[in-house]
Structure 1
Amino acid sequence: MSAFDLSARGLLLAGSLFAFAAVPALAEPPAPPMISVSAEGSAAMAPDMAVTTLTVLNEAETARAALDANNATMDKLMAALKAESIAERDLQTAGFSIQPRWLYPEPKDGQQVPPSIIGYQVQNTLSVRIRDLDRLGAILDASVTLGVNQGGDVRFTNDNPDTAIEEARRDAVSRAMAKAQQLADAAGVKLGRITQISEQSSSQPPMPMMEAQFAKSAMRSDSSVPMAAGENEYRVSVSINFEIAP
């Protein structure tokens, strides 16, 4: 190959590179202007179920004696709950423990005296779902009579809150749409298509009943524990992104 050919090839290659470099890089189109809003919607629903914990605590000189006493009480408690038409699926052991009780004597003649076991403590906790709220107070009262001596935490809930959550979601979207329209009107622009929607849901503790209603239930002639179920409030938060129409 001659020197002339090499020179010509070099000029051709250099020209190609120059032509490639002269082509401007394709710039990405700018992101369209957006309006982003968030809003919260809520809906209330009367609870149809209560979850409570019932604990039996026994102490004795030996672990065997404490366990036997605890088992006897728990057997009576579970039989009574089943007699209240509480299903097996609504009864669940939530905790069980056997613990020694220690005595820590005061130091004697400046010497530390080793601790000693003076007894044992057995604790059994049962989680109970009560679907007939009208029987809740009576069940708690009967449980104490049978030997329950700890627990009693009551949480009112709903077996199926989907209806309330759907209502809260619609409320949240409606509020967000109205807020976006207000912003667009104030800015003198028009809303375009929705590019993104996201949500977060949560529930709130029951709202207390009116004081007069609670007082009325507390003055009943039976020995049931007075209870106020109130309402559960479910909340949904949504965030929506809108393009601004050209």
Structure 2
Amino acid sequence: MSRAASLAPASVLASALAGALLTAVALPAHAEDAAFRATTFSLSAFGETKVAPDMATISLGVQTDAPTAAGALSANATQMTKVIAALKKAGIAERDIQTSGLNVNPQYVYEQNLPPKLTGYQASNQVTVQVRDLAKLGSTVDATVGAGATTVGGIGFGLQNPQAAEDAARVDAVKALQAKADLYARATGYKIMRLVTLGEGGGYTPAPPMPIYAMAKREMADSTPVAAGELKVRVDVSATYELAK
């Protein structure tokens, strides 16, 4: 009797646990069924607007050579000081001039069957400059070269405030998305009931710098020819719509 009595509560407990497990497993299935009671579809679209840039970023550099590293750096500092002074004189604010690279490297001559021969040192200093008045871009480049800049690495155009262009692209993206949703609904014989989700991707990205010699040209009086062209601002959107017959 004592053995049977001790087994009975264990059997009841096992049955109760099994029932609880079955209930727990069944819940996600019910939730999954509920999630698919509505008919939905997901679509994506994009909007794009073109706008003239109102700023440019240029990369300028100075390279100097000397028998010693200290001499190369000293000569470089003197020359770069003149370049920066020319930038400021051209109307570039100090906040728009940023050092982006400073290097000193030994220079060698290599001859066959002989060890490398040190011939001196080369110092290079690179600055990135933002030009907020494009009318001064060509003359600014000329001024820096005249002051001692030995390299003009590249140029990129951008927007000081891309908000308006992004908003215009957003409106176009949503219009395109809605038009696509209406088309799919008509094609499948459904009616759009509501917008379930809406997401955004993309947005304004400044154009990468490109070599000045590769740019299209527009003549500017007494200055290096440059052309700003247009920028494309693109916004991607995606959405889920609920449908009904």
Q: CA deviation at 1:183?
A: 0.5
Q: TM-score, normalised by structure 1?
A: 0.81
Aligned residues: 226
Provide runs of 4+ in structure 1 moved above 2 Å: 20-27, 202-206
Query: Unaligned 5+ residue runs, structure 2?
Result: 209-215
Separation (CA, whole Å) in 2 of partners of 1:221 and 1:186: 58
Is the contact made by 1:90 and 1:129 (CA closer than 8 Å) also made in structure 2?
Answer: yes
Separation (CA, whole Å) in 2 of partners of 1:175 and 1:165: 15
CA shift digits 1:14-46 (9 cap, x unpaired): 9x86xx699994541241221111101011221
Separation (CA, whole Å) in 1 of partners of 2:2 and 2:83: 108
Aligned to 2:139: 138
Separation (CA, whole Å) in 2 of partners of 1:204 and 1:39: 21
Q: TM-score, normalised by structure 2?
A: 0.81
Pick aligned residue for 1:49 from 48, 55, 68: 55
Per mean C-alpha deviation after superposition, the further-off stretch among 165-174 and 145-154 is 145-154
Is the contact made by 2:90 and 2:143 (CA closer than 8 Å) also made in structure 1?
Answer: no
SS of alignment partner, residue 226 of structure 1 = coil
Aligned to 1:88: 94
- Superposition map of 1:3-152 within 5 A: 13=12, 25=26, 27-28=29-30, 29-30=33-34, 31=36, 32-107=38-113, 113-152=114-153
CA shift digits 1:125-159 (9 cap, x unpaired): 01100111101001111211111111341100011
Confirm or deny that 1:191 pairs with 2:197: no
Is the contact made by 2:43 and 2:177 (CA closer than 8 Å) also made in structure 1?
Answer: yes
Is the contact made by 1:204 and 1:234 (CA closer than 8 Å) also made in structure 2?
Answer: no
SS of alignment partner, residue 226 of structure 2 = coil
CA shift digits 1:213-243 (9 cap, x unpaired): x76x42x551x00111111110011111111
Amino acid of the structure 2 residue aligned with 1:83 = K
Aligned to 1:209: none
Separation (CA, whole Å) in 1 of partners of 2:103 and 2:81: 17
SS of alignment partner, residue 64 of structure 1 = helix
Q: CA deviation at 1:13?
A: 4.9
Aligned to 2:235: 236
Separation (CA, whole Å) in 1 of partners of 2:2 and 2:157: 96
Separation (CA, whole Å) in 1 of partners of 2:111 and 2:12: 98
- Superposition map of 1:152-191 within 5 A: 152-191=153-192
| Aligned residues: CA RMSD | 3.0
Query: Unaligned 5+ residue runs, structure 1?
Result: 108-112, 207-213
Separation (CA, whole Å) in 2 of partners of 1:136 and 1:229: 10
Once the two structures are aligned, what percentage of the paired residues are identical?
40
